[in-house]
Amino acid sequence: MDTFLMDGKEYPADESRTVLEVARENGIDIPTLCYHKSLPPYGACRLCLVEVLWGDRSRLYTACTYPAWGGMVVWTASEKVLKARRLILELLLAEAPASPEIRELARRYGVERTRFRAGRKGAENRCILCGLCARICQDVLGVGAIGFKGRGDRREICTPFEQLSEECATCGSCPAICPTGAIRLESISPHSPRPIPSEFDAGLTSRPCIYIPFPQAAPNKPVIDRSNCMHYKFGSCTICQDACPAQAVDYGQQDEIVEEEVGAIVVATGYQLLSKDCYGEYGYGLYPDVIDSLQFERLLSASGPTGGEIRRPSDGKIPQTVVFIQCVGSRDPSKGISYCSKICCMYTAKHTMLYKHKVHDGQAYVFYMDIRSGGKNYEEFVRRAVEEDGAIYLRGRVSRIFEREGKLVVKGADTISGASVEIEADLVVLASAMIPQPGIERLAQKLGVSYDQYRFLSEAHPKLRPVETNSAGIFLAGACQAPKDIPEAVAQGSAAASKALGLFSSEELTREPIVAVVDEESCVGCFYCQKVCPYGAVEVKEIRNREGELIKTVASVNKGVCQGCGACVATCRSNSVDLEGFRDEQIYAEINAL
């Protein structure tokens, strides 16, 4: 195998790769400001100069453009190289004196000042004219909102005619790729960038177009947001594909419908919080420091947007006074939700305790209607929040929230003392009602599962069959059935899994004895029974003679799915359907025996 030497070590030669790529793979530091994987090598900054020896000849080349040929000797930090880099850094310091990145590189190489005259752009300039921003906008994205203008010392990056560009997509690629932070979107586009809110962080932070949905996601692999990805908008951007060493990014993948035959289904669609738009008087969406409980949960988390520190979304300050408002939407028939969300009392108590543990001099207030702490050690937990962590509970509703001198003024009532209350808060947390996920009705109709007036899925029996449904083989788990806390959801999930495993534990399937049967001789094949069956148990059966000729089509009942409700029996016009074990003759025989 052909090889070459770099800093005294031998490496495989590969003309399709550059010296810089080989050096980076092997942990050799070569500074560069104009190189990016998604762009062809450019060699504009000249900082990546290395000394290449061919026999007795020595010459400086840019590592980002020079191929890794066999037989050569490369020195990345010889005296000749260091001297050239210091000279280049002096030139860059003169051109972009305001760049922290340039100053840091100069410090590393011992360059304290420059001998050259400052550039005409002045002491505030950061741009080194590397061209990365213009090249990624034109060559990768195909937009061309910015480019080079002028020659010599008048050369600069700007928009066409130095006017704000309507072509700019405000994707943020140019400031992201700029090595010195010289690019500002407001100097390019008249439009403000629209960050993509992170679903996992409940909108407190933004996320890129390619991202891992949440920590410990299964599978723990990135996904692409097609609605915002520049590749699907303009068809040319391939930055993530170029950067992936495993070449795992495939833009040609399409959503597909996968059909699987299964023996059981566990429905665990979860919940969502009631939209805070229903409570405009609480200022959600108007005031950034009015958040919901899930957002506060993310602020508390060590993996959250603030690393576990509780800070106001508006200015990043630590709130000294936090007001928690319970029953926002719950137990309010005027909003269409008369039920209790069940978990709010306990997680609010937890939030007050964690807040006090993180902000020792802070004060938490809780407005509540009733405290519902039914569970093992739940009542003691709430008392601990009050007695040990100093949370102040006020029984009453909040009428409105408004802003005054940088504070959120919470106006409410204390029904125990009979007085009105006004608290100046730094942060307000709403315990919003739990509601089913959108689209749950369509899923329930497809599965043949009933649901209540609030769209929660209904179990077969609230006491005897709490995780089963009226459709055989379909089980419920978690908050799709009703609001549940974590212990209850875990217990129900385990029960649903056990029920599903029970179906596979024996060679034969056990079913209820009372199921519908069809008399094939009298069936006329009208299939009204199929239309009224709520469980999809009625199928079409073809009756053929010995030669395979079709004689007639009749209804047939799948006994593993039938629940014996009798709807098909009442509907059948030819009286061809009956309930096995519950026939008319059997009923008459019981009556006659009395």
Q: Where in the chain is the domain with CATH 3.10.20.740?
A: 3-108
Q: How far apart are CA 228 and CA 233, in angstroms?
A: 7
Whether 410 contacts 422, CB under 8 Å: yes
Q: Where in the chain is the domain with CATH 3.50.50.60?
A: 271-435
Q: What is the mean pLDDT of residues 511-534?
A: 91
Question: Considering the chain, what percentage of its residues have pLDDT values greater than 70?
Answer: 100
Least confident of 224-228, 239-243, 369-373: 239-243
Whether 5 contacts 55, CB under 8 Å: no
Q: What is the mean pLDDT of residues 167-183?
A: 91
Long-range contacts of 420-426 (CB under 8 A, 24+ apart): 421/394, 421/396, 423/321, 423/323, 423/365, 424/321, 425/319, 425/321, 425/322, 425/323, 425/365, 426/289, 426/312, 426/317, 426/319, 426/320, 426/321, 426/322
Q: Round the CA-based radius of gyration of the chain to a whole number and report it.
A: 35
Pairing assessment for the beta strands 57-62 and 363-368 based on DSSP bridges: unpaired
User: Which pLDDT value is given to residue 9?
Assistant: 95
Whether 469 contacts 268, CB under 8 Å: no
Q: What is the mean pLDDT of residues 240-255?
A: 89
> Regarding the domain delimited by 3-108, which CATH topology (the fold level of the hierarchy) does it fall under?
Ubiquitin-like (UB roll) (3.10.20)
Q: How far apart are the first and last CA of the chain?
A: 100
CATH code for the structural domain at 271-435: 3.50.50.60
448-463: pLDDT as tens digits: 899 999 999 999 999 9
pLDDT band (50, 70, 90) for residue 334:
confident
Whether 374 contacts 352, CB under 8 Å: no
What are the start-end ranges of the H helices in 26-64? none
Q: Residue 95: helix, strand or coil by DSSP?
A: helix
Q: How far apart are CA 306 and CA 303, in angstroms?
A: 8
Q: What is the mean pLDDT of residues 225-248?
A: 87
Whether 274 contacts 329, CB under 8 Å: yes
Q: Is the pLDDT of residue 179 over 80?
A: yes
- Whether the CA torsion 114, 119, 125, 130 is positive or negative: it is negative
Secondary element (H or E) of residue 18: strand 14-18
* Cα-based angle 518, 523, 527 (whole degrees, multiple of 5): 85
Mean pLDDT of the chain: 92
Helices and strands (DSSP H and E) totals, the chain: 15, 29
Whether 438 contacts 272, CB under 8 Å: yes
pLDDT band (50, 70, 90) for residue 141:
confident
DSSP characters for 338-362? -S--SSHHHHHHHHHHHHHHHSTT-
Q: Is the pLDDT of residue 582 over 90?
A: no
Backbone torsions φ then ψ of 503, nearest 5 degrees: -70, -25
pLDDT band (50, 70, 90) for residue 1:
low
* Cα-based angle 502, 517, 501 (whole degrees, multiple of 5): 5
Q: Is the pLDDT of residue 569 over 90?
A: yes
Least confident of 16-30, 277-291, 321-335: 277-291
Q: What is the mean pLDDT of residues 483-496?
A: 96
Within a 13 Å sphere around the CA of 568, how many CA atoms are in the beta-carbon half?
32
79-120: pLDDT as tens digits: 999 999 999 999 999 999 999 999 999 999 999 989 998 887
Whether 323 contacts 428, CB under 8 Å: yes
pLDDT band (50, 70, 90) for residue 380:
very high
pLDDT band (50, 70, 90) for residue 286:
confident
537-554: pLDDT as tens digits: 999 999 999 888 999 999
Q: How far apart are CA 371 and CA 204, in angstroms?
A: 29
Q: Where in the chain is the domain with CATH 3.30.70.20?
A: 516-592
Q: What is the mean pLDDT of residues 351-358?
A: 97
Q: Does domain 516-592 have CATH number 3.30.70.20?
A: yes
Whether 37 contacts 245, CB under 8 Å: no
User: Which pLDDT value is given to residue 122?
Assistant: 82
What are the start-end ranges of the H helices in 227-341? 230-234, 239-243, 293-300
Q: How far apart are CA 379 and CA 372, in angstroms?
A: 8
- 3-state DSSP of 472-532: CCEEECHHHCCCCCHHHHHHHHHHHHHHHHHHHCCCCCCCCCCCEEECCCCCCCCCHHHHH
- The residue ranking higher by pLDDT, 594 or 569, is 569
Q: Is the pLDDT of residue 564 over 80?
A: yes
Backbone torsions φ then ψ of 279, nearest 5 degrees: -125, 75
Whether 534 contacts 458, CB under 8 Å: no
Question: Considering the chain, what percentage of its residues have pLDDT values greater than 90?
Answer: 73
